Structure 1
Amino acid sequence: MAKQDTDRTTLDLFADERRPGRPKTNPLPRQAQLKLNKRNQLKRDRERGLSRIELKVDEQLLSQLNVLAAKRQLSRAELIYSLLLQQLEQQDLD
């Protein structure tokens, strides 16, 4: 039986053949990469003096924040940060 290049049913014949595609650059599986990257991000944030807070809002408020952030060309996190600072400054003036 002759080996034909178009025949992919007998994979053992093509085991040593290099397939086109992006080469694997990291030995870790994707889940481990994500976990490590998140750990490194949190470490960088801590070094910069940042702390994480979570906030739950309804869909209407979220869409308003997204529109305002896009209008001001900011990320949503930057917008919320600036709004919080403005509110705290107003509280100090009162």
Structure 2
Amino acid sequence: MAKEATDLTTIDLFSDDKRPGRPKTNPHSRSVQVRINKRNQVKRDKTNGLKRVEFKIHENLINQLDQLAKNTGSNRSELIESLLVKALALDEN
């Protein structure tokens, strides 16, 4: 019996064939890759003098911040940082 590429009834003949798709380029699982990437990001941020801050605020305020960030052409993190810097500068005066 000849091996025909379009023959789906003899799929067992193709079990050793390479499957199409993205080749595996990293020996680690995805969860390990995420942990490694996050650790590297924290190291990069630390060398750049950045510190992570997390807090909870109401969704309406988030929407306002997002809109203001979009209008100013920055992201939410940069906007919050600039607002804090301005508030602290006003407090010093």
Query: TM-score, normalization: structure 1?
Result: 0.86
Q: 1:37 to 1:10 in 2, by over 3 A?
A: farther
Identity %: 53
Residue 26 of structure 2: aligned partner: 26
Query: TM-score, normalization: structure 2?
Result: 0.87
CA distance, structure 1, for counterparts of residue 51 and residue 17 of structure 2:
50
CA distance, structure 1, for counterparts of residue 8 and residue 49 of structure 2:
55
Q: Stretches of 4+ moved more than 6 A in 1?
A: none
Residue 46 of structure 2: aligned partner: 46
CA distance, structure 1, for counterparts of residue 78 and residue 13 of structure 2:
55
CA distance, structure 2, for counterparts of residue 66 and residue 42 of structure 1:
24
SS for the counterpart of 1:36 is helix
CA distance, structure 2, for counterparts of residue 3 and residue 60 of structure 1:
63
Long gaps (5+) in structure 1: none
Residue 72 of structure 2: aligned partner: 72
CA distance, structure 2, for counterparts of residue 80 and residue 70 of structure 1:
13
Structure 1 residue 9, shift from structure 2 partner: 6.6
CA distance, structure 2, for counterparts of residue 12 and residue 69 of structure 1:
57
Q: 1:15 to 1:64 in 2, by over 3 A?
A: same
Structure 1 residue 14, shift from structure 2 partner: 1.7
Residue 82 of structure 1: aligned partner: 82
CA distance, structure 2, for counterparts of residue 41 and residue 24 of structure 1:
23
**Deviates further, 1-10 or 58-67:** 1-10
Structure 1 residue 4, shift from structure 2 partner: 4.5
